[in-house]
Amino acid sequence: MSGKIRLNTDWLCDCGGCHVAIVDLHEKILNVLESIEILHCPVMTDVKDYPEAEIGILTGSIRTEHDKHAAEEMRKKCKTIIAFGTCAVYGGLHGAGLAHSREEIMDHVFKKSPTTTTDTIPTVEVTELAKTVTPIDEVIDVDLYLPGCPPHAHFIFESLKTLIENREPRVTQDSVCARCNRQMIKGDAKELKNSLDGVPDEKFCFLSQGYMCLGSATLDRCLAPCPNHGVACTGCAGPTMQILTEPYRDIRTEVSDRMARLTAIDADTIKTYMEKTAKTQYAYAMATKMIGNKPTFLIKKWIADVEAG
């Protein structure tokens, strides 16, 4: 086995999709196996401990002590750690746990559900939930980030090859719009539409037609499958670098400005709408401090405003 690059992977709090995406490199996985030796990888191998390895792929976010421990072990044993997938990088969709306390969630699942006939909250043989969901770089140092839910095979293969060939990754920092076939034009929509209003014209940008689309605020790690197949982007790969790095730029400011320019709708109307639906607009990235610490990001207030009616 000598000469091969050793790889550990592990999944923390996640859906498993990122691991399936690795398997779904398909024929390329056979190429990859020529240069990489897979050690710890719960979907594929029975290796239960963490051997020394050059590369460590972590998917999922931190929700329990067990997750934290696994991330720390991986950090100790792997030279390069990749935060793989939106959950690992930004907390992901279940980062929405942020909007609800763990007590609320446990109570709902184990007591209030209409099918549940017991009145028990699990306490033994389980590792306790942490207060909130955290992206992994709040617990360990991360060397490379590959967001995407899951990332497209194109980017996975590129990042693995980068490491095998020991070179800089060739990836762009474009937004989803760069790969989208729809054309941005100045449209005459006067009101925001919801995705159920009529059938959007497939030639033109959703924004131009008055439909919400987060493509322009989202980093392309997916090759834009959604807008190219009839539905708008909901930002599952997380925000673009511009949004992350500039304190006063934010998903809603970015999208509302652009949409206002492409329609006859006023930017403030759009911004207010996005605040009201913040749980949806910030669905994938609300758990990251990069968004959470922005002076412009007030999700708890927005949710409270909605609940207050």
Partner 1 sequence: MGKVLNIQPVSRIEGHARISVHLNDAGNVDDAYMSLMSLRGFEKFIEGRPAEEVPRIVNRICGICPWMHHTSSNKAVDGCFDVTPTPTGHKLRELLQVMAHINDKILHFFFLAAPDFVLGPDADYSVRNVIGVVKAAPELATQVVKMRQLGQMMIDRFAGKAIHPIAAVVGGFSKPLPEAERQAMLKDTQTLLDFGLFTLDFAKNNVFNKYLDVIGELGVIKTGFLGTVDRADGSFRIYDGKQRLMKPDGTYVDFEGDDYLDYLGEHVEPWGYGKMPYAKSWDEGFSLDLENPKGIYRANTLARINVCDQMATPKAQEALEEFRSAFGRPAQATLLYHYARLIELIYACERTLELLNWEGITDTDVRAKVEPKAGRGVGIVEAPRGTLIHDYTTDENGCIEKANLIVGTTHNIGPMNMSVKQAASALIKDGNYDQGILNKVEMAVRAYDP
Residue 5: Cβ-neighbour burial (10 angstroms; 0-12, 13-18, 19+): middle
Segment 37 to 66, residues that bind partner 1, using CB under 8 A: 38, 42-48, 63-64, 66
Segment 251 to 270, residues that bind partner 1, using CB under 8 A: none
Nearer to partner 1, 67 or 137 (CB): 67
Minimal distance, residue 159 CB to ligand SF4, in Å: 14
List the one residue from 52, 72, 79, 106 that touches partner 1 (CB under 8 A). 106
Residue 142, token pair as written in the block: 């991360």
Gap between the terminal Cα atoms of the chain: 63
Minimal distance, residue 62 CB to partner 1, in Å: 12
In whole angstroms, give the CA distance from residue 206 to residue 68.
40
Segment 176 to 195, residues that bind partner 1, using CB under 8 A: 194-195
In whole angstroms, give the CA distance from residue 231 to residue 34.
38
Residue 38's closest CA among 19, 18, 12?
19
Indicate which of partner 1, ligand SF4, none lies near residue 117 (CB less than 5 to 8 Å, by partner kind). Answer: partner 1
Indicate which of ligand SF4, partner 1, none lies near residue 210 (CB less than 5 to 8 Å, by partner kind). Answer: none
HSE value, Cβ hemisphere, 13 Å, CA-based, for 143: 16
Minimal distance, residue 250 CB to partner 1, in Å: 20
Indicate which of partner 1, ligand SF4, none lies near residue 125 (CB less than 5 to 8 Å, by partner kind). Answer: partner 1
Length of the chain: 309
List the one residue from 62, 78, 81, 96 that touches partner 1 (CB under 8 A). 96
Residue range at the interface with partner 1 (CB under 8 A); choices 23-31, 159-167, 239-247, 257-265: 23-31
In whole angstroms, give the CA distance from residue 185 to residue 262.
6
Indicate which of ligand SF4, partner 1, none lies near residue 196 (CB less than 5 to 8 Å, by partner kind). Answer: partner 1
Residue 23, token pair as written in the block: 């398997």
Place of tokens 């209409």: 114
List the one residue from 52, 76, 79, 116 that touches partner 1 (CB under 8 A). 116
Does the footprint of partner 1 cover residue 4 (CB under 8 A)?
no
Residue 52 near residue 20 (C-beta atoms within 8 A): no
Residue 145's closest CA among 71, 211, 66, 237?
237
Segment 145 to 174, residues that bind partner 1, using CB under 8 A: 149-150
Q: How far is CA 46 from the centre of its chain?
A: 28
Indicate which of partner 1, ligand SF4, none lies near residue 176 (CB less than 5 to 8 Å, by partner kind). Answer: ligand SF4
